[in-house]
Amino acid sequence: MANLINGKEVSASVKQRVREQTEKLISENGVTPGLAVIIVGDDPASRVYVNSKKKACAEVGFNSFEYALPAETTQEELMTLIEKLNNDPKVNGILCQLPLPKHIDENAVINAIRAEKDVDAFHPFNVGKIMIGDFAFLPCTPAGVMELIDSTGTEISGKNCVVIGRSNIVGKPMAMLLLHRSGTVTICHSKTQNLAEICANADILVAAVGRANFVTADMVKEGAVVIDVGMNRLENGKLCGDVDFEAVEKKASYITPVPGGVGPMTIAMLMQNTLTAAKMQNNIG
120 is catalytic: yes
Q: Which is nearer to ligand GUN, 73 or 203 (CB)?
A: 73
Q: Is 271 in the site for ligand GUN (CB under 6 A)?
A: no
Q: Is 272 in the site for ligand GUN (CB under 6 A)?
A: no
Q: Is 239 in the site for ligand GUN (CB under 6 A)?
A: no
With beta carbons less than 8 A apart as the criterion, state whether 7 and 261 touch.
Answer: yes
With beta carbons less than 8 A apart as the criterion, state whether 61 and 99 touch.
Answer: no
Residue type, 37: V
Write down the least CB distance from residue 140 to ligand GUN, Å. 5
Q: What is the DSSP string of 66-133?
A: EEEE-TT--HHHHHHHHHHHHT-TT--EEEEPSSPPTTS-HHHHHHHS-GGG-TT--SHHHHHHHHHT
With beta carbons less than 8 A apart as the criterion, state whether 229 and 170 touch.
Answer: yes
Write down the least CB distance from residue 269 to ligand GUN, Å. 9
| Residue 16, helix vs strand vs coil | helix
Q: x-or-dash pattern for ligand GUN, window 107-146, by CB under 6 A?
A: -------------x-------------------xx-----
Q: Is 95 in the site for ligand GUN (CB under 6 A)?
A: yes
Q: Which is nearer to ligand GUN, 21 or 97 (CB)?
A: 97
117 is catalytic: no
* Rounded distance between C-alpha atoms, residue 267 and residue 277, angstroms: 15
* Rounded distance between C-alpha atoms, residue 29 and residue 62, angstroms: 14
Q: Which is nearer to ligand GUN, 140 or 161 (CB)?
A: 140
Q: Is 97 in the site for ligand GUN (CB under 6 A)?
A: yes
- Indicate which residues carry an active-site annotation: 53, 97, 120
List interacting residues with ligand GUN (CB under 6 A). Answer: 95-98, 120, 140-141, 169, 266
